Amino acid sequence: MPVFNITLKADAPAEELQKAKETAQEKGGVIQHEYSLIKGFTVAFPDDQVQTLESNEHIHVEQDGVVSTN
């Protein structure tokens, strides 16, 4: 399963992060890491279900990838 970074948008209520985690797990996702400095988490999530997360107006969804300084 691909891994996605999920972060709470600046103007979103804090409880929306918990709702996003619950939704991710209900749809077959596995939370891999919860951030402490930002409101967010990474989740291994079925690619064909990602629109479920993307439809939440309170969070930002980005597929995890390799970062390079080349």
Return per-residue pLDDT of the chain as tens, 70 residues.
Answer: 899 999 999 999 989 999 999 999 999 999 999 999 999 999 999 989 899 999 999 999 999 887 778 7
pLDDT at 62: 94
The predicted structure's pLDDT at residue 65: 82
pLDDT, position 23: 94
Q: How far is CA 48 from CA 1, 27, 30, 36, 51, in A?
A: 10, 10, 15, 28, 7
36 burial via Cβ count (<10 Å: 0-12, 13-18, 19+): exposed
* 52, containing H or E segment: helix 50-54
Looking at residue 2, the DSSP 8-state letter turns out to be -
Sole residue written with tokens 């064909």: 48
